[in-house]
Structure 1
Amino acid sequence: MTPLRQNIARLSILISLIVLAIKYSAYYVSHSSALLADAIETILNVIAAIGTLWAVNIAAQPADENHPYGHGKAEYLWAIIEGILVVLTAIGIFLIACYDFLHPSSLKEPFIGVFLNAFAGMVNFIWARIMIIIGRKYDSQALLSAGAHVQSDVWASLALVIGVSLIPLLHWLWIDPLLSILVALNVLWTGFGMMRHSMKGLMDEAPAPELIEKVFKIITEKGEGALEAHDLRMRKVGALYFVEFHLVVDDHMSITEAHDICDHIESAIRKYLGSASIHIHVEPEKIAKEEHLSGHKHRNVLTLS
């Protein structure tokens, strides 16, 4: 794991604790149930930050005897766990909001609370953008999920700043629990979105068709001397791509010549994808034809010559 990713994950814990302190102070001075809901959601951010540090540390460990394909799915696993925690938090906030809706109470110092919450929102916005940028650069699902989670918190904070400011002006006490319900719905939406996205990685969903087409094009350009490529399969775990396909060569081609063609293809694919584990199954033309005549259907066949 790069030191930058590690430092980002560690610093995320500190930022979350600072934001939690500010948001709880906002609730303490205002007695707003909506601001309390926002503070409760931030507690989850602290837990998520700790989990993110764990995930990126585990995912960065190299492949070993028990995990020959590496540990990259640790990030997807944590993103699923975080999504579940987010959903449970949303349910808790919703229950509190329902109680406050039935038992409304006046606010103490709403504008001071709003100011503190707005400041916490600004800190979260800056930090969310940093995590998302770093997460995209290093293909870190844990950082991307954490950044998306914090960013959703920013939009909730913005709505709360506007809504809570209106309460002392309009004297509508029901606005406060209503805002809490909206926060719960926003948190719930974020949680389901995080789980849906992470499930794609856990289920080894294929990359975008455009990327697969680009890999096929590379095989065409660098596979000179081979006859055909087929059964291309790709998946991605963290920053690592897994690529495998069958390469058909002339029956009389030497092992050395076939090996050189594979080297050219692998080098070009790695140059395009970055970190990649590539497996090429070389087949003599005679065997490939026998498989075809026996009814074996090859997928995404690419003729090279």
Structure 2
Amino acid sequence: MKSASRVRRLSFWSIVVGVAIFALKLVAWWLTGSVALFSDAMESIVNVVASGVAWYAIGVAHTPADDNHPFGHHKAEYLSAVLEGVLIVVAALLILREAVLAFAQPSPLAVPAVGLAINAFAAVGNGVWAAILMRAGRAARSPALMADARHLWTDVVTSAGVIAGLLMALATGWLWLDPLMAVIVAVNILWHGWHMVKASVQGLMDVAVEPEDLAEIERLVHANSDGALEFHDLKTREAGRARFIEFHLVVPSDMTVERAHRICDRIEDALEAAFSGVRVTIHVEPAHKAKNGNGGG
């Protein structure tokens, strides 16, 4: 519960930080009239909206299981990440529209040094906050928090590219570099949004755990199944911070229920100690159900 409270608190502060960063970037755009800085500010609007959605989704995801949702509400965070990906795509399309207009009618940049300095300061703030969110998201296995962090990192890269492009435009006098940077920003945002949606949909589709985690699960089951004959049909899936593991455990036909239960408890304890938020389901079977080494044990 302590971890859940910290995750939601961070997601709330993400909204506050997002609003502050957006305000800074808006001032930078207003001072310069740069369409590239406008595109950077537009992405920050997405950050604010996405952080609000993530804050709500994390609250839902940490709601205890109930009669209608006996396995919990963990997937709510994936819905948040999908929505954030969609918002990114919308922002990219708006940026492309502004870039096309700027190509048609390029305009000189006003007070560029001040605007670039403000934008650079905003980018540094975004980078620091993204690092904090990513560390907390990984520790708590929160898809919404990690999606927010990845989006902020994209924003940092975007800001760095925009600033570099505008410096080149000022140095060469090629005003078309400004809308060109906006186009590059938009394409980068689209690419990032696509990957975010793809990863979140995988979570909604009950994707299996990573291969290295699966190998560790198999090792732990094998190491703690003394007395059993084998295990097989191991299946895993992830739902936000929760992991679900199920398999069949074959025991001697004359083994008592109590002894078989002790073996199951030993395996469950080992898995729960190794993986946070794990839910283990073991189906005990008699000896004639053995698959001759198709599992472990």
TM over 0.5: yes
- The residue number in structure 2 matching 1:187 is 189
- The residue number in structure 2 matching 1:117 is 119
AA of the residue aligned to 2:128: I
Deviations 1:138-180 (A, max 9, x none): 0000010000001101011011112112323211110111011
- The residue number in structure 2 matching 1:144 is 146
- The residue number in structure 2 matching 1:105 is 107
Deviations 1:111-159 (A, max 9, x none): 1111110010011010111111100010000010000001101011011
In the alignment, is the contact (CA less than 8 A) between 2:248 and 2:283 conserved in 1?
yes
- The residue number in structure 2 matching 1:63 is 65
- The residue number in structure 1 matching 2:262 is 260
Alpha-carbon shift at residue 217 of structure 1 (Å): 1.3
What is the DSSP-based 3-state SS (H/G/I as helix, E as strand, rest coil) of the residue aligned with 1:207? coil
Is 1:301 matched up with 2:294?
yes
What is the DSSP-based 3-state SS (H/G/I as helix, E as strand, rest coil) of the residue aligned with 1:107? coil
Mean Cα displacement is larger for which, 167-176 or 244-253?
A: 167-176
Q: Quick one: which of 172, 177, 181 aligns to 2:179?
A: 177
AA of the residue aligned to 2:286: P
Q: Distance in 1 between matches of 2:49 and 2:296?
A: 52
Alpha-carbon shift at residue 73 of structure 1 (Å): 0.4
Q: Distance in 2 between matches of 1:303 and 1:189?
A: 41
What is the DSSP-based 3-state SS (H/G/I as helix, E as strand, rest coil) of the residue aligned with 1:302? coil
Q: Distance in 2 between matches of 1:170 and 1:96?
A: 22
Q: Percent identity?
A: 39
Flag the 1:15–1:220 CA change in 2: closer, same or farther, 3 A.
Answer: same
Q: Distance in 2 between matches of 1:283 and 1:166?
A: 70
Is 1:233 matched up with 2:232?
no
Q: Distance in 2 between matches of 1:169 and 1:62?
A: 58
What is the DSSP-based 3-state SS (H/G/I as helix, E as strand, rest coil) of the residue aligned with 2:207? coil
Q: Distance in 2 between matches of 1:227 and 1:150?
A: 50
- The residue number in structure 1 matching 2:135 is 133
Alpha-carbon shift at residue 41 of structure 1 (Å): 1.0
Q: Distance in 1 between matches of 2:69 and 2:167?
A: 54
AA of the residue aligned to 2:49: I
Equivalent pairs, count: 295
Q: Distance in 2 between matches of 1:45 and 1:218?
A: 41
Alpha-carbon shift at residue 303 of structure 1 (Å): 4.4
Structure 2: unaligned runs, 5 residues or longer: none
Aligned residue runs from structure 1 range 4-153, under 5 A: 4-153=6-155
What is the DSSP-based 3-state SS (H/G/I as helix, E as strand, rest coil) of the residue aligned with 2:67? coil
Flag the 1:184–1:257 CA change in 2: closer, same or farther, 3 A.
Answer: same
What is the DSSP-based 3-state SS (H/G/I as helix, E as strand, rest coil) of the residue aligned with 2:100? helix
AA of the residue aligned to 2:74: G
- What's the TM-score once normalised by structure 1's chain length? 0.94
In the alignment, is the contact (CA less than 8 A) between 1:111 and 1:165 conserved in 2?
no
Q: Distance in 2 between matches of 1:47 and 1:114?
A: 24
Q: Distance in 1 between matches of 2:271 and 2:9?
A: 31
Q: Distance in 2 between matches of 1:149 and 1:16?
A: 11
Deviations 1:29-71 (A, max 9, x none): 1111111111111111110110110111111111111111111
Q: Distance in 1 between matches of 2:85 and 2:20?
A: 22
Is 1:201 matched up with 2:203?
yes
Q: CA-atom RMSD, angstroms?
A: 1.3
- What's the TM-score once normalised by structure 2's chain length? 0.96
Q: Distance in 1 between matches of 2:167 and 2:210?
A: 45
Alpha-carbon shift at residue 4 of structure 1 (Å): 1.4
Structure 1: unaligned runs, 5 residues or longer: 293-297
Flag the 1:25–1:303 CA change in 2: closer, same or farther, 3 A.
Answer: closer
